[in-house]
Amino acid sequence: MTLSVSGTELDYLLFDWLDELLFRFETSQLLFCEFDVQFHYEGITVSAQGETFQADRHRLAHEVKAITYHQLSVQQTAEGWQARFIIDI
C-alpha cells in the first residue's frame, strides 16, 4: 500500500502519517511492519507492507485511541534521526 502525506514540518508529517496508520487499522484492520519512506518537496510518500489483523495471530496489549501533539518532535542528531510522540491508549 502507498500512503502520501502533504506538509513540510517534520513533526506534523510524523503526526499525520501515524494518524493515517491508525485510521487504516481502525477502518480496514491493517497492520504494517515494513516501510519505505520517500521525502519530497510536498511531503512524504510511504510504501508500507503488512497484513490484515487476525486475532489468533496478533496479540494487542492496548488499543491505540489517538495520536497526540503532546511533546511531538522530530530532530536530527549525530546518530541519525530521532522522533518522539505520545499516543492515547
Q: Which residues contact 76 (CB under 8 A, 6 or more apart)?
A: 82
Q: What is the grid cell recorded at 84? A: 518522539
Task: Residue 10: count other Cβ atoms within 10 Å of its Cβ.
Answer: 17
Q: What's the pLDDT tens digit per position in 3-16?
A: 999 999 999 999 99
Mean residue pLDDT across the chain: 94
DSSP-derived 3-state class of residue 71: coil
What pLDDT is stored for residue 51 in this prediction? 95
Q: Band the pLDDT of 28: cuts 50, 70, 90.
A: very high
Beta-carbon contacts of residue 48 (< 8 Å; ≥ 6 apart): 1, 2, 3, 21, 32, 34, 35, 36
- Give me the count of residues in the chain: 89
Domains by residue range for the chain, with CATH: 2-53+63-88 (3.55.10.10)
